[in-house]
Structure 1
Amino acid sequence: MRVHRRRLVAAIAALLAVVLTARLGFWQVDRAAEKTALQSAIDDRGAQPPLPAEALARTPAEADSQYHRRVQLTGRWAAASTVYLDNRQLHGRPGFFVMTPLVLPDGSAVVVQRGWQPRDQADRTKVVPTPTPAGEVAVAGRIAPPPARLYEFEQPGAERIRQNLDLDAYARETGLTLRPLSVWQTDGPPDGLERDWPQPAATVARHQGYAFQWFALSALVAGLYVWFQLFRPWQQRRRRAG
């Protein structure tokens, strides 16, 4: 009776492990497909003509349909409102995203993610001032969501270096009428900033690799169960019978 109970427990445990690991493998396959489809949609939007400034979204719902569209903007920098988002990595290196509002001719403004600069290794509070010309400038870029929020231990303040940027709070802080989006700057005069913005499909290979690992683990569990619970007992019975 105990032998049958142990075999039943082993069978149930093996079945659960196989189902769970296989499900995780299919989940990674789905994630890879989502990233591929997202990249295809981004490429399609990027191939469209640049969006004129007057067509920029004024509501979050409109902004969703404009993400990753190219845009050509003219305006003047609100240089005094530049902020540096901390703990932003590029190719594994810690640094800052440099954010400056661009005031458009109609008086509204767009937060421009101007680029990335590395953190000073000796003093993490030290930032290199980004050249910000006065007067009217032209900015080429792609429409993007605001930067992803990171966990922060303290309530956000109005410091120059900060962890996150909430557009509503930033609008109240600066007195600007901000559009509900941001712009990844893709071109401009030399200013020491790097603009190698992330691509969603860049992690497709990683998801595919994870899927292979989960499927391999699922096959391994199934193989071990068959070997130890079915084949070896059958082999032992055959030897005893012989």
Structure 2
Amino acid sequence: MKNPPYTPILAQRRRSALICLAVLVVITFCMGLWQLGRAHDKQILIAQLAKQEALAPLPWAKGIPPLFRPIKLIGQWLPQAEILLDHRIEAGQIGYHVITPFQLSDQSIVLINRGWWPDTRPPKTSDNTIVNAQPWPRYIELANTQPTGHIFQNINPARFAAWSKLPQPHTYALIQEGERGLIVQHSQPAIPPERHLGYTATWWGMSLVGVFLWIRFKRETRL
């Protein structure tokens, strides 16, 4: 097929198309670099978590503990204010996260995720008080759903305090070892490094397609 006749307007349109395509190639390449950097950062974070979690538990009776540091809480469980987070999935099965408050010696509250359980009758608390302090979990909530009894869809310090009539918890933690069949949650990034590497491959694949189209379009058009 012959090229269409040359006109200044058509030439300008061809230049504009090539420029736009080149910009898209640059953008997708930079997005791939960004995802590659994210994967690297996640790998560093996982290594730091592993180093912290390997430390001996630190006795803790008051105040806000350091993040990701194993601590042995000093105080008492408050099982009467235990809640369940609904619709939590483990190995393809829907169940609950069991969240039990712990009152430190200074009367402050720590909310502890004791693990996953398949029904609304989880095991009672044991003497295990070794936990890892965590950032407060971020939940996606489409509506302000009120709790049903002690079953919540999502939780934050103010919501828990309003329901339990206890002080607002200042720390969220994961129990370090499973107890009585509960499946322990682990402090890993929500998006693992491998997924970021997959995103990198996708963006750079788009870059290669863009380069191929740019070269082909350039050859088949006259400027």
TM bracket (short chain): 0.7 to 0.9
* Aligned with 1:200 (options 189, 192, 200): 189
2:139 corresponding residue in structure 1: 149
1:117 corresponding residue in structure 2: 117
* Aligned with 1:54 (options 54, 58, 61): 61
**Contact in 2 for aligned 1:50/1:72 (Cα 8 Å):** yes
> Do residues 181 (structure 1) and 182 (structure 2) align?
no
**Contact in 2 for aligned 1:108/1:176 (Cα 8 Å):** no
Distance 1:102 1:205, change over 3 A: same
> C-alpha separation between the residues in 2 aligned to 1:107 and 1:33?
40
2:20 corresponding residue in structure 1: 13
1:164 corresponding residue in structure 2: 154
**Contact in 1 for aligned 2:95/2:116 (Cα 8 Å):** yes
Q: Alpha-carbon deviation of 1:179?
A: 4.5
Aligned residues: 215
Q: What is the root-mean-square deviation of aligned Cα atoms in Å? A: 2.5
> Do residues 24 (structure 1) and 24 (structure 2) align?
no
Distance 1:188 1:16, change over 3 A: closer
> C-alpha separation between the residues in 2 aligned to 1:90 and 1:7?
54
Letter paired with 1:180:
H
- Percent identity between the two aligned chains: 28
Q: Alpha-carbon deviation of 1:91?
A: 4.3
The DSSP-based 3-state class of the residue aligned with 1:112 is: strand
Q: Alpha-carbon deviation of 1:167?
A: 1.1
> C-alpha separation between the residues in 1 aligned to 2:152 and 2:97?
10
Q: Alpha-carbon deviation of 1:74?
A: 4.3
1:70 corresponding residue in structure 2: 70
- TM-score when normalising by structure 2: 0.83
Q: Alpha-carbon deviation of 1:201?
A: 8.0
2:120 corresponding residue in structure 1: 128
Unaligned runs of 5+ in 2: 1-6
2:3 corresponding residue in structure 1: none
Distance 1:43 1:78, change over 3 A: same
Moved more, 206-215 or 71-80: 71-80
The DSSP-based 3-state class of the residue aligned with 1:200 is: coil
> C-alpha separation between the residues in 2 aligned to 1:21 and 1:189?
47
1:107 corresponding residue in structure 2: 107
1:121 corresponding residue in structure 2: none
Q: Alpha-carbon deviation of 1:151?
A: 0.8
2:88 corresponding residue in structure 1: 88
**Contact in 2 for aligned 1:158/1:173 (Cα 8 Å):** no
Letter paired with 2:176:
T
Q: Alpha-carbon deviation of 1:149?
A: 2.1
* Aligned with 1:35 (options 37, 42, 46): 42
> Do residues 218 (structure 1) and 207 (structure 2) align?
yes
> C-alpha separation between the residues in 2 aligned to 1:228 and 1:138?
67
> C-alpha separation between the residues in 1 aligned to 2:168 and 2:128?
18
1:124 corresponding residue in structure 2: none
Letter paired with 1:185:
I
Q: Alpha-carbon deviation of 1:25?
A: 0.8
> C-alpha separation between the residues in 2 aligned to 1:167 and 1:212?
40
Letter paired with 2:111:
V
Distance 1:108 1:3, change over 3 A: closer
> C-alpha separation between the residues in 1 aligned to 2:128 and 2:105?
12
Q: Alpha-carbon deviation of 1:187?
A: 1.8
**Contact in 1 for aligned 2:129/2:175 (Cα 8 Å):** yes
- TM-score when normalising by structure 1: 0.77
